[in-house]
Amino acid sequence: MHWFETQLAALNRLAADYLAAQRQSGGDIVNVSESARTKRAAFIDAVQALVDKVVKIKGIAACAAYHDGLILAQSAEVPHIDAFGAVIQETIRAAQHGQVSLSLGAIEQIVIVGADHKLAMLSVGPIILCIYSPKQVNLASVLSRQA
């Protein structure tokens, strides 16, 4: 497993921990809520840290993370941040319709390639991690190197 896959696996574990803490029910609502807040903060901090590392990789122009089309974390260089959110939300929605009708299973990644740039969208727990790069960049290759 290369560097980026390791990072995604760690984020997925943090997301699972957070979602499990949210589902907990019991007599001590205050402590359960504190646990959920702590796990949520750990997940969001880890998402921002990964975004910060990814954008430093040569060949990556921008990186951001969205939840339901709303920005959760971003690199300083993300152009047209609101447009990214809109494209992501609509693309994921369309893919989810295909997921059911084509029996694809859960959507893991989508890549849109334009004449100049490409946008990769990866599902990580409850978020979509977006990586924007020039078209000619081989994302698998550059993301396998540690930032």
pLDDT at 93: 83
Sign, Cα dihedral of 123, 125, 127, 130: negative
What is the span of the domain harbouring residue 106? Answer: 3-143
Indicate the number of domains in the chain.
Answer: 1
pLDDT at 103: 84
Instruction: List the structure tokens of 50.
Output: 């990964």
pLDDT at 87: 84
Classify residue 59 by burial, with Cβ atoms within 10 Å: 0-12, 13-18, 19+: middle
pLDDT at 115: 96
Q: Tens of pLDDT along 48-61?
A: 999 999 999 999 99
CATH of the domain at 93: 3.30.450.30
Q: H/E element holding 142? A: helix 139-143
Q: Which residues of the chain have pLDDT under 50?
A: none
pLDDT at 81: 78
Residues with Cβ within 8 Å of 134's Cβ and at least 6 positions away in sequence, in order, are 59, 61, 116, 117, 118
